[in-house]
């Protein structure tokens, strides 16, 4: 029989576990955060992110989360050499901040959201001691008593097809509950004529649609957005300044129909498929019970729509 002192010593060595409530898609569930066990892993993660190049890669992947990105696309977006990027990806993977999966012949790197959540929890709950004066300003969001009058911006590179589709669809499917806008990081001079024809055939009013530069929505006095969506991978790779009001963001990337080749009828079919995909996503979006959802659960719904996952109300 072991002495009591030994049993007490063993008991005192057990890690202290803090249980925190976190909203989820299906209501609320508990995740467990261990302050003691996370010290070395947190230090490793912080050291990894302390390099500007690795931090840039991580920030880029966060803009696509929960989806993954191929190394060639990361390198092109950040202007990195392949061997330099390989080192950054290896270090981020070793620290468990990102994961890698093979799809066909390609590797896709994605943010490990569980590890990122743990790191933020460590900083907020262990280092910050969950001090209200530190956390309350970060968690404060505009309280909604209704589920209407949301300002939503859709961004793509050219603002000629996908974002124009999304703006028009939200305007018409959402009726008076949403103020829909679209813009491009490098907009064309006007919307694509095939895109306009698809909208016209589906009964949408196309008068007043125009290509706009993103800067129209970033100057002082611009409308404050509640949601900002990127609908192409190119625009998602762009590092935009922080949006006033910290809107919920999402990546609903789709291939560019403007790049389609073939006969006029075949190109028209590509545009029609893009329109249909965005219509499905926006129909899901406008049906969300906004007034009943927390910011975190709403972000999860937005992410699920972008990956074409069915969600529950």
Give the model's confidence band at 192: pLDDT under 50 very low, under 70 low, under 90 confident, else very high: very high
Which tokens go with 62? 């966060």
- In terms of domains, do 90 and 181 share one? no
* pLDDT reading at 108 higher than 60: yes
Final residue before a domain boundary, out of 89, 107, 139? 139
Residue 98 lies in a domain: yes
In this prediction, residue 241 carries a pLDDT of 66
Beta bridge partners of 183: 155
Give the model's confidence band at 203: pLDDT under 50 very low, under 70 low, under 90 confident, else very high: very high
Cα separation, 311 vs 313, whole angstroms: 7
- For residue 46, give Cα distances in angstroms to 83, 145, 161, 246: 22, 38, 41, 24
**CATH number for the domain including 111?**
1.10.10.10
- For residue 115, give Cα distances in angstroms to 39, 46, 99, 119, 313: 13, 12, 10, 6, 27
Count of structural domains within the chain: 2
Residue 28 lies in a domain: no
Residue 30 lies in a domain: no
- In terms of domains, do 94 and 238 share one? no
Q: Measure the N-to-C terminal CA separation of the chain; round to a whole number of Å.
A: 55
* Cβ-contact 61, 109 below 8 angstroms: yes
- In terms of domains, do 70 and 118 share one? yes
Which tokens go with 203? 């009964």
Give the model's confidence band at 25: pLDDT under 50 very low, under 70 low, under 90 confident, else very high: very low
**CATH number for the domain including 258?**
3.40.50.2300
* pLDDT reading at 1 higher than 80: no
The pTM assigned to this predicted structure is 0.68
- In terms of domains, do 77 and 169 share one? no
* pLDDT reading at 15 higher than 50: no
Q: What are phi and psi of 106, to 5 degrees?
A: -110, 150
Give the model's confidence band at 310: pLDDT under 50 very low, under 70 low, under 90 confident, else very high: very low
Higher confidence at residue 307 or residue 29? 307
Model confidence over 45-94: pLDDT tens digits?
Answer: 999 999 999 999 999 998 888 889 999 989 988 899 999 999 999 999 99
**To which H or E segment does residue 133 belong?**
helix 132-139
Residue span of the structural domain in which 75 resides: 39-139
- In terms of domains, do 296 and 184 share one? yes
- In terms of domains, do 173 and 121 share one? no
Residue 1 lies in a domain: no
**Which range, of 75-79, 112-116, 143-147, averages the lowest pLDDT?**
143-147
Final residue before a domain boundary, out of 139, 164, 186? 139
């Amino acid at each position: 029989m072991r002495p009591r002192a030994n049993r007490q010593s063993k008991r005192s060595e057990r890690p202290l576990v803090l249980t925190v409530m976190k909203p989820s898609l299906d209501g609320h569930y508990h995740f467990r955060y261990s302050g003691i066990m996370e010290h070395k892993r947190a230090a490793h993660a912080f050291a990894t992110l302390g390099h500007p190049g690795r931090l840039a890669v991580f920030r880029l992947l966060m803009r696509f989360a929960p989806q993954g990105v191929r190394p060639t696309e990361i390198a092109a977006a950040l202007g990195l050499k392949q061997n330099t990027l390989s080192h950054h990806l290896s270090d981020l993977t070793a620290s468990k901040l990102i994961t890698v999966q093979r799809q066909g012949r390609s590797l896709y790197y994605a943010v490990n959201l569980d590890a990122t959540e743990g790191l933020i929890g460590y900083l907020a709950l262990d280092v910050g001691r969950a001090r209200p004066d530190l956390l309350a300003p970060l968690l404060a969001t505009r309280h909604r008593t209704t589920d209407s009058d949301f300002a939503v911006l859709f961004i793509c590179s050219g603002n000629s097809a996908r974002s124009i589709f999304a703006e028009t669809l939200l305007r018409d499917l959402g009726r008076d509950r949403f103020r829909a806008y679209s813009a491009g990081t490098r907009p064309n001079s006007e919307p694509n004529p095939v895109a306009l024809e698809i909208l016209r055939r589906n009964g949408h009013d196309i008068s007043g649609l125009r290509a706009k530069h993103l800067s129209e929505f970033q100057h002082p006095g611009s409308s404050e957005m509640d949601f900002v969506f990127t609908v192409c991978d190119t625009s998602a790779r762009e590092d935009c300044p922080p949006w006033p009001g910290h809107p919920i963001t999402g990546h609903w990337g789709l291939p560019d129909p403007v790049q389609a080749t073939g006969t006029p009828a075949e190109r028209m079919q590509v545009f029609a498929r893009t329109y249909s995909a965005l219509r499905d996503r926006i129909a899901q979006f406008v049906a969300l019970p906004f007034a009943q959802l927390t910011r975190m659960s709403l972000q999860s719904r937005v992410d699920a729509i972008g990956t074409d996952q069915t969600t529950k109300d």
